[in-house]
Chain A
């Protein structure tokens, strides 16, 4: 029978300070995401929706003090080039979509994973895979002669293994947010092996997002991760390089939940309708993701200007044709004005059509990986 010992849920009171710091729980009035914020963050706009603002509020889940964190490897000064690269592909941008705006609106955030520790005792079985090499050959016949080339191929030999295990699994990362999968897609992958111990002072200028997935709900997600770790341990114990069809019947005891913080930046720009478009930057890899929209309003404006010029030129052409019987050289002016006016008129269609075409093609958020 499986036994779970989960840290009891605690309600953190509004205004209660956490981890011997001035951080207090705060929530967004619009998207209801919760953060552990400094006083300076209170009443600022929510960095993840940019619609609501942060207000002090109580927490339903105890955000256990983080055990490990991945530091920001991408420094603030790197962000300008990332934003420039991101926005440079758009021809007719919203006026608000500038590198400077994006840079000024940048907010550092740490978002959470749970780190689970557990004592596991039980029986396991799996197919253990052992690497080995076989010799094969390729024979060539040319000019009445045979030549032979030896080929060494890598293969895996699968053998059944079973046994008992009494093992302490430490720091298995599991989701702590309801929207974990979505968040992971937005930020891209992190290299968790680069993480270090949590230091409060390293997170001073950042908001820390609070978990909204309680350990009881996270455990079903954690268990496969714990078992995956155990399969690696059992494969190692068997001297195998691979494992498959791992199954275990075990008791999971002394579950301990701490946090693992991952770095990201957010920023935004406003589209034609004034709706904030959120950009997310992976604080470790610099991968940026977000909608990259063109401005239809600016497109119309440019089209109108070019169209106006075309109309004037066409009027000139008409005038030239009318006076050409009296003043023949005016016909030359009429021809040229007509050609340029017609070309400009056709050209005016491009900025009118392009933004909607671009936005249709770029409906899903764009990901730009950093070299």
Chain B
């Protein structure tokens, strides 16, 4: 601290800045706030050749394709220590604006998706529907700014190999699938996610049944017998549950399949990095469509079901009735983060399919077209042994009692065939489902 000659106290402290004081004779200094997002806005041009630069996954920095210039991203990997935010009434009602770099909103006329794209891009393929009918919109909604992200670790080239391997798996898909054009249409996108933490204390109360063996005298049989009886007792218990980084997507299910997205979980939060606009240079990024409060409602529903499950596990027997519980939430916090996903949408026999690759771990999931003739053939194969045995058994039954065995075996095999057929059919439907 240094004193100013005119006796007004002037303080020079690193990391502090003067703020408004409500008392005239007192000066107040507070920790410097982060520079506003407008100040951080930047255009990604190569300082050597002036060409447009973009984040390069392999190089781990902003790179120029033309001259090979690369600038590492000045951001720290924070992992689990990344700040979490409370559900303050202020936070719930307010949202911060801005992305940190100048990006523009694009609206897909085909599926209605809202995209945030680097400045200068006037058209692109929509990663959700593969449509090229994309037009610039005037503005996006007010956003809470993402503070953390996990950068892409998987390159576009790697996704080609991963998806090819994935598409080649499974016998009931079209043979020509792995050779389709899917690989050429991957686009990397940062998708919005909310993560939630909470300490939940669950108190349960229920009637718990314990099996008991009872001896009784059977007067008609004139002998002592045993039978099993369930004895019901009121019991209660408390189960503490720690919820850490419960993930809820911020994308609307209208634009992205949550089912497929959940199949490429988990993400390793140890790679969580402080948000820096450099990571988004040349990549697509989607702002959240599900608000914090809506996402928390979704998360809370999943958490309370997990709490209920934990309570049931706390009960020593499987006989439970009149179960009730309360789940006290405490220390709830949230983060708004961006996670890397490669998306591809492709058409096969006039149908559109989605495929996703986890941009951090390389896990692949998605819709795969089904060669239904293979499915029907397999179902036929499952049912045929039972039918044949039945057909053999019928005439034998007419001749003598020997037919009962093949008929019985036929019925069993037919039953097994039906079960397997249903399972296969469902799996095939799931494979095509969004």
Contacts and interface: CB of A to CB of B under 8 A. Distances in A.
A20 to B, nearest CB: 36
B90 interface: yes
A348 to B, nearest CB: 59
A194 B21 CA distance: 30
B326 A140 contact: yes
Interface string A123-166: 10000000011111111111100101000100100011111111
Given A142-B324, A237-B22, A137 B9 contact: no
Contacts of A134: 86-89, 332
Nearest to A152: B89
Interface stretch (B24-32, B75-83, B266-274, B373-381): B24-32
A217 interface: no
A95 interface: no
Given A162-B29, A163-B28, A239-B22, A136 B329 contact: yes
Interface in A88-137: 121-123, 132-137
Contact of B300 (A123, A139, A234, A236): A139
Interface string B331-344: 01000000000000
B87 A136 contact: yes
Interface in A283-326: none
Contacts of B86: 134, 155
B130 to A, nearest CB: 40
A159 B31 contact: yes
Contact of A141 (B25, B26, B300, B326): B326
A161 B328 contact: no
Contacts of B9: 121-123, 163-166
A239 B22 CA distance: 7
Contacts of A155: 86
Interface string B73-103: 0000000000000111110100000000000
Contacts of B22: 236-239
A141 B11 contact: no
Contacts of A132: 88-90
A125 to B, nearest CB: 9
B7 A161 contact: no
B41 interface: no
Contacts of B307: 139
Given A133-B89, A162-B16, A139 B329 contact: yes
A194 B351 CA distance: 84
A163 B21 contact: yes
B392 to A, nearest CB: 50
B11 A233 contact: no
B108 to A, nearest CB: 35
A252 to B, nearest CB: 15
A167 interface: yes
Contact of A164 (B27, B300, B304): B27
Contacts of A142: 324
Most buried by A among B20, B27, B92: B27
Given A164-B10, A167-B25, A233-B23, A135 B300 contact: no
Contact of B92 (A135, A163, A234, A237): A135
B13 interface: yes
A198 to B, nearest CB: 28
Contacts of B8: 164
B31 A160 contact: yes
B188 to A, nearest CB: 36
B326 A133 contact: no
Contacts of A161: 28-30
Interface string A207-242: 000000000000000000000000001101111000
Contacts of B89: 132-135, 152
B29 A141 contact: no
Given A146-B304, A165-B9, A237 B28 contact: yes
A142 B23 CA distance: 54
A133 B88 contact: yes
B162 interface: no
Contacts of A138: 326-329
Contacts of B327: 138-139, 141
Contacts of B1: 123, 164
Nearest to B328: A138
B156 interface: no
A335 B198 CA distance: 82
Contacts of B315: none
Interface in A146-195: 146, 148, 152, 155, 159-167
A236 B16 CA distance: 19
B330 interface: yes
Contact of A237 (B26, B308, B332): B26
Contacts of A139: 300, 304, 307, 326-327, 329
A136 B31 contact: no
Nearest to A239: B22
Given A164-B11, A233-B23, A237-B23, A141 B308 contact: yes
Contact of B25 (A133, A137, A152, A165): A165
Contacts of B330: 136
A140 B304 CA distance: 9
Contacts of B10: 164
- Which of A142, A152, A155, A163 neighbours the largest number of chain B CB atoms within 10 Å of its CB? A163
B325 interface: yes
A162 B16 CA distance: 9
7 contacts: A134-B332, A135-B89, A139-B304, A139-B307, A141-B327, A163-B29, A166-B26
Top 8 A-B pairs, shortest CB-CB distance: A164-B9, A237-B26, A237-B23, A139-B327, A142-B324, A163-B27, A237-B21, A163-B28
Interface of B: 1, 7-11, 13, 16, 18-23, 25-31, 86-90, 92, 300-301, 304, 307-308, 323-330, 332
Given A133-B89, A134-B88, 8 more contacts: A135-B92, A138-B326, A139-B307, A148-B300, A163-B29, A166-B25, A167-B23, A238-B21
